[in-house]
Amino acid sequence: MPTIFTHAIVPLAIAAAAGRGVISPKVAILGAAFAVIPDGDVIGFKLGIEYADSWGHRGATHSLAFAAICAGIATMFWREARSVSAFVFLTLAMASHGLLDTLTSGGLGAALWWPFSEARIFAPVTPVRVSPIGMGFFSMRGVETLVSELKWIWLPCAAVAFAGWGARRAARSRL
């Protein structure tokens, strides 16, 4: 996985690009949490679930279907998120996690198409270094991971947020 901060930055960038009129700050924060939740599946390692199982790491919780289901539940039970844009945003927020994982150079791919397919998928290019787990984070490999995440995820996210903000500003000044 990329580090959790990097997963969380993706929905925050999308929310910043869309503007608070479309995605409220509260929904944006839930989106950041949604982007981190899929890696809760590592608890499966302790429960004896194999990495390659449906509910193993990068399995069902990393699928697009699971993202849509969780977003649907939030939209149904939380008034703040009761809009099509919030549903789409929350689905994207959680789906972005599995999609980012497919860009990493390690482990198994993500089961994006679960429950229709158990295939573990990688993107055609895998430029993002996989994050070392635990204390390995504070090592040379940890630094290399951060640099690759800055380059391949944070920079594009900043560009998206900035472009959205610029577009909204331009639209407003034309009124």
Task: Give the sign of the dihedral formed by CA 35, CA 114, CA 124, CA 89.
Answer: negative
Interface with Zn ion (CB under 5 A), residue from 101, 112, 128, 145? 101
- Residue listed under structure tokens 């679930």: 49
How big, in percent rounded to 5, are the helix, strand and coil portions of the chain? 65, 0, 30
* Residue 149 binds to Zn ion (criterion: CB under 5 A): no
Six-digit token string for 121: 């998928």
CA 151 and chain centroid, separation? 16
Site size for Zn ion (CB under 5 A): 3
User: Cα(126)–Cα(106) distance, rounded to whole angstroms?
Assistant: 9
User: Contact letters (x/-) for Zn ion, 32-51, by CB under 5 A?
Assistant: -------x------------
By beta-carbon proximity to Zn ion, the closer residue of 1 and 27 is 1
- Residue listed under structure tokens 């490999």: 141
By beta-carbon proximity to Zn ion, the closer residue of 1 and 23 is 1
By beta-carbon proximity to Zn ion, the closer residue of 9 and 86 is 9
Task: Give the sign of the dihedral formed by CA 20, CA 25, CA 26, CA 31.
Answer: positive
User: Contact letters (x/-) for Zn ion, 1-30, by CB under 5 A?
Assistant: x-----------------------------
By beta-carbon proximity to Zn ion, the closer residue of 39 and 149 is 39
> At closest approach, how far in Å is the CB of 94 from Zn ion?
11
For Zn ion, the binding residues (CB under 5 A) are 1, 39, 101
